[in-house]
Amino acid sequence: MSQYMLDTNMVSHVLRGDIKSVRERLDQTVALGGTISLSVISQAELFYGWARRGHPAALGKLIGGFLVGVEVQPWTEAVARCYGDLRASCEAAGVNLTTSDMMIAAHAKTLGAILVSRDKAFQHIRSYLAALEDWTVDI
């Protein structure tokens, strides 16, 4: 079965429960044997958001509970090399993505994972990725 790497915005939807289709697709993917992963970069962004809100206990519990159920993928030299190539290509093509978006994209690319995000910026590098899905609209 396929490996899916959730971008931070998809995790936020799962934690908030604000878009039913995201949770449904996550549950369906797991039920069918798919692997749900998260870049350590997205994990860092989640912890940043928690800190920015003053470390509320309820949010910390939600984040911790979510992280137990996914594979947090470590940053490796292979991912770093892929990031370097992607960043150079984006700069040469005049494509502007945030550093964290490029890092997450490189992580998904290196693992051959399907990147799941609603971030329209990834459309600029769609052909670079194994696949890109938006579970807020792709049902």
Convert the pLDDT of each residue in 18-29 to its tens digit: 999 999 999 999
pLDDT beyond 60 at 139: no
Distance CA 15, CA 35 (A): 18
| Whole-structure pTM value | 0.93
Closest by CA position to 41, among listed 88, 15, 9, 81: 9
Contact 43, 7 (CB under 8 A): no
Convert the pLDDT of each residue in 44-77 to its tens digit: 999 999 999 999 999 999 999 999 999 999 999 9
* Ordered domains of the chain (ranges, CATH): 3-133 (3.40.50.1010)
Angle subtended by helix axes 20-31 and 8-16, to nearest 10: 100
Please state the separation of Cα 138 from the chain's center in Å. Answer: 16
pLDDT at 137: 87
Confidence bin at 101 (pLDDT 50/70/90): very high
CA distances (Å), origin 95, targets 16, 58, 98, 112, 114:
31, 38, 10, 22, 21
